[in-house]
A and B are shown apart, each in its own frame.
Chain A
Amino acid sequence: MAFVGLAITFLGFLVSLGSLGISNSNTVRGVIVLVGIVVSLVGIMGVLNQAYMKNAIWKK
């Protein structure tokens, strides 16, 4: 799951980068970039960190 989290985090960056080629409207670009940021945050906090928490030291 940790690698899935990393992949999602990086995917968020690619979504944001893609906004440059998808539209010339700064509003549309801004919305897409925000979506990319949210995807990356989900990857870090929702997937990657959760994967490491499963084996957290206090649970041993």
Chain B
Amino acid sequence: MKKVLLAFAMTWCFGLCGTAHAQPPATQAQPAPPPAAPAAAAPAPAMITDADIKALSGPKAEDKAKGDPAGTTTGNVSDIPVGDAKKGLTLGDIVNQVGQNQIAINFVWTLVAGFLVMFMQAGFALVETGLCRAKNANHTMMMNFMVYGAGMLAYWLIGFAIQEGGVGAVANLGGTAPLSAEYAVKLFGKDLGLFGMNGIMLTGATYDVGVMVMFLFQMVFMDTALTIVTGTAAERWKYSAFLISSLVMGAFTYPLFANWAWGGGWLATLGSNFSLGHGYSDFAGSGVVHAVGGLTALAMGILIGPRIGKYTRDGKATAIPGHDITMVLLGCFILAFGWFGFNPGSTLGASANGNLRIASIAVNTMLAGMAGSFAAMCYMWGRYGKPDASMTGNGLLAGLVAITAPSGFVNPVASVVIGLIAGVLVCVSVEFIDRVLRVDDPVGAISVHGANGLWGVISVGLFADGRSNYGGAWNGVPGSVTGLFYGDGGQLVAQLMGVATLIGFVFTMSFVLNLVIEAAMGQRVSAKTELEGLDIPEMGAVAYPDFVLKADAMGVE
């Protein structure tokens, strides 16, 4: 029986590949391609007919009653659903089952990857709370907790439709055809997609299993971008303003850029419209997720101002240490774990269309993350004499952020180089933002996600080696994404266009929207609240009621 199934699998792969249903037996024979080797070395695939299928039988009832401790007979021909009981099992039934199995594999892979990304929220919560003072722990933790719910509701309401409403059919998920309406404008003689229009509240035709998988996966990505901002504005952000700001970002800011990059928008079509490589290519979101979050964090950092005590009267920066470094490093580990969903999951499948590349994406992710932490540790050790723990953790995150966009397009050597640069970049960027720009960023989110998100986007245009192949084309351009070092300078220009859009458009949009919120309700807590700690005035309870906090931290004379 195994031989018959193997022969069938060969027939399917070489003869019927690409068809949705089995052809009648008489028409199954396909012209054999010219043999590359002598005919004797390549035996022709066996022909399978419905008669062969009917001859198959599963284990006998008495054998099944004995159990299957070795697992050799569980899962067999008797488990394949029959379409027509009168006809019995046919080749068509088996082919349909093969197709559904492929989509099922992709569904499960993408959903599990999404679950991992969802758990990254816990990592962010630990990192940010650990890097803040104990008097603000409840407030910081609650922001990280509720950004998930607030962002999700906004995204479900309108954000998903803006982002993915016109993405079209995604083959890995069996087609998401209901997501078919993209609003575009004519510019420079080309149609440039601006936003999607289907999928509001997942109603109508978008009540579809493929769309649901897409929604879950994209939703957790969006939430990752939102939670970046809470780190920069921590310890002085009014909770009510945070909620409104997160709703707006989840509904509009994030989905708009995500549409341009991933939803069939104008950045994705820079290749097909303007011959810029394969268009803006951001495999898992260094730009879409991290740079959007990091630049919004920069906007908030400028707008809300530094914490009291961060700078002396002459503008010199002082260190305000966090309260729990163990929490920080545990959070970093959780984030690194979740990143295995973030990057490899972005194939949206594990079967067909080049998706076995998930193995190299996972390895690239791992290598760049640890290269980043190693470089940051060495930098801090050399510059300040100690291997600073929090910056080593940030180095890990920087490497992971930077490899997110190129993870699907580069080789392991390039991943290490990208990670090493990211590890140094995050340290230099933290110093620059802290001491030169004087923007107070308690957790280093602008540097980790903003600076390294942009670096990740650029690195695709440099290091993509042209060896990946996801179904033969990317962004509608045949072939593989190839960077400058491998011969395609146009790809680098496409990536730079993405950077220009992030800095020039996304930052401006984020700043203006938060400026409106500032004018309407104020973004910052009072100085008294800030000095007391935000836990009691904003949340009504401290995070650690059984512990005596330092008197000065509580504002007690």
Binding site for B on A (CB under 8 A): 6, 9-14, 16-17, 19-21, 24, 26-27, 29-30, 33-34, 36-37, 39-41, 44-45, 48-49, 52-53, 56-59
A39 contacts which chain B residues (CB < 8 A)?
504
A41 contacts which chain B residues (CB < 8 A)?
503
Query: Which of B311, B437, B500, B511 lies in contact with A36, CB distance below 8 A?
Result: B500
- Judge whether B313 and A58 touch: CB under 8 Å: yes
Residue of A whose beta carbon sits closest to that of B308: A57
A58 to B312, CA, bound (A): 6
A49 to B299, CA, bound (A): 9
Query: Which of B303, B437, B490 lies in contact with A26, CB distance below 8 A?
Result: B490
A8 to B303, CA, bound (A): 17
B303 contacts which chain A residues (CB < 8 A)?
52
Which B residues between 390 and 408 are near A, CB-CB below 8 angstroms?
none
Chain A binding surface SS class: helix
A34 → chain B closest CB, angstroms = 7
B493 contacts which chain A residues (CB < 8 A)?
26, 29-30, 33
Tell me whether A30 and B489 are in contact in the complex, defined as CB-CB below 8 angstroms, given that A44-B298, A58-B310 are known contacts. yes
B505 contacts which chain A residues (CB < 8 A)?
10, 13
Residue of B whose beta carbon sits closest to that of A58: B311
Tell me whether A49 and B437 are in contact in the complex, defined as CB-CB below 8 angstroms, given that A29-B493, A30-B492 are known contacts. yes
A7 → chain B closest CB, angstroms = 9
Residue of B whose beta carbon sits closest to that of A56: B305
A60 → chain B closest CB, angstroms = 9
A14 contacts which chain B residues (CB < 8 A)?
504
A16 contacts which chain B residues (CB < 8 A)?
496-497, 500-501, 504
Give the interface size class of chain B. 35 or more
- Judge whether B496 and A40 touch: CB under 8 Å: no
Query: Which of B298, B312, B313, B499 lies in contact with A37, CB distance below 8 A?
Result: B499
Query: Which of A13, A36, A58 lies in contact with B508, CB distance below 8 A?
Result: A13
- Judge whether B503 and A58 touch: CB under 8 Å: no
A20 → chain B closest CB, angstroms = 5
Is B380 in the interface zone, CB < 8 Å from A?
Answer: no
A55 to B302, CA, bound (A): 11
- Judge whether B508 and A52 touch: CB under 8 Å: no
- Judge whether A40 and B302 touch: CB under 8 Å: no
A52 → chain B closest CB, angstroms = 5
A10 contacts which chain B residues (CB < 8 A)?
504-505, 508
A57 → chain B closest CB, angstroms = 5
B312 contacts which chain A residues (CB < 8 A)?
58
Which B residues between 302 and 319 are near A, CB-CB below 8 angstroms?
302-303, 305-306, 308, 310-313, 315
- Judge whether B503 and A13 touch: CB under 8 Å: yes
B496 contacts which chain A residues (CB < 8 A)?
16, 30, 33-34, 37
A2 to B29, CA, bound (A): 71
A24 to B298, CA, bound (A): 34
Query: 1/0 per position for B192-207, CB-CB distance to A under 8 A?
Result: 0000000000000000
Is B439 in the interface zone, CB < 8 Å from A?
Answer: yes
Interface centre among B270, B439, B489, B493 (most CB of A within 10 A): B493
A21 to B274, CA, bound (A): 9
A36 to B276, CA, bound (A): 17
Is B455 in the interface zone, CB < 8 Å from A?
Answer: no
- Judge whether A21 and B504 touch: CB under 8 Å: no
A37 → chain B closest CB, angstroms = 5
Which B residues between 239 and 290 are near A, CB-CB below 8 angstroms?
270, 274-276
Is B512 in the interface zone, CB < 8 Å from A?
Answer: yes
**Beyond known contacts A9-B507, A21-B188, A26-B490: 7 more, CB 8 A cutoff:** A16-B496, A17-B501, A26-B275, A33-B500, A48-B302, A49-B302, A58-B312
- Judge whether B504 and A12 touch: CB under 8 Å: yes
Residue of B whose beta carbon sits closest to that of A59: B313
A10 to B315, CA, bound (A): 29
- Judge whether B306 and A57 touch: CB under 8 Å: yes
Interface centre among A9, A30, A52 (most CB of B within 10 A): A30
